[in-house]
Amino acid sequence: MEAGFTEGEFYQDHFDSRAYINIFFSSPEGHSDEKSLLVFVLDALSRTFSGGKYSGQKLVEVGSGPTIHSIISASEHFQEITLSDYAERNLEEIQKWLRNEEGCFNWNPVIEYICKLEKKSPSEVEAKIRQRVKHILKCDVRLENPFHPENLKPADCVITSLCLEAACKDMQAYKKALAGLASLLRPNGALVMVGVLGESFYVVNQTRFSCLPLTEQNIKEYLKDVGFTVHEFEIFSGPKPENNEVSDYEAVFQLVALKTS
């Protein structure tokens, strides 16, 4: 990729965490330019987790950003949840919500949307998330151990959403990051990944952030190389490029892959 790829250090200095969630997560519909990308993601995560097929003691999300949407459906099925990100402001946004501080972001519309799908009480789900998120950690997916110098106990499930393609400047870094995710899982543990295909950039508050354009074939090939078996791979096509001013993604996907024992 070009020399100007916006890696973690750029996020630390330039990423406006509150603007990002205001723009893309204020309602379940997400940003109008992105053709129901968020609805697809929330629905797919609900289908994956609501039945209880993937469950256990420990869930780790790698690259949470300033968001909690990825763990709403999963929170019922894991006792101990770790959230993480490279940028400190993202971690601060999560902490504010977990502590229910005045002025924290309002996740209620998104939580209520999922609870309607799953026939659950929003207040009970919200309380469960706050109770079960035990750790908020800095991570760097470019490292062999994303949580260096800490060594986490193997997780039953790892979630990552819209992270790797924004953090990895080339295919070599992407494959290394997938290996890092594998190292966090127990044998037969589940990787649940949300990402975009064919995206080269997205925009937050007029600041442009790079993305590594990926294909379904790239992802499946690299997952197999680092010891995963893909069990599910759902794709939702994006809007026409001329109708989207905030990103140029071709499609969004969610996959479930199990770590080979």
Whole-prediction pTM? 0.96
- For residue 105, tell me if it sits in a domain: yes
- For residue 1, tell me if it sits in a domain: no
What is the number of structural domains in the chain?
A: 1
Q: Average pLDDT for residues 57-76, to the nearest whole number?
A: 98
- For residue 76, tell me if it sits in a domain: yes
Binding-site residue ranges = 20, 63-64, 85, 90, 140-141
pLDDT in tens, 153-176: 999 999 999 999 999 999 999 999
- For residue 222, tell me if it sits in a domain: yes
Binding-site residue ranges for S-adenosyl-L-methionine = 20, 63-64, 85, 90, 140-141
- The chain-wide mean pLDDT, for the chain, equals 96
Q: What is the pLDDT of residue 21?
A: 98
- For residue 2, tell me if it sits in a domain: no
- For residue 3, tell me if it sits in a domain: no
- For residue 114, tell me if it sits in a domain: yes
CATH number of 25's domain: 3.40.50.150
C-alpha distances (whole Å) from 217 to each of 194, 199, 222, 223, 233 are 15, 15, 9, 10, 11
Identify the band that residue 1 occupies on the pLDDT scale cut at 50, 70 and 90: very low
Structural domain range at position 48: 8-259
- For residue 98, tell me if it sits in a domain: yes
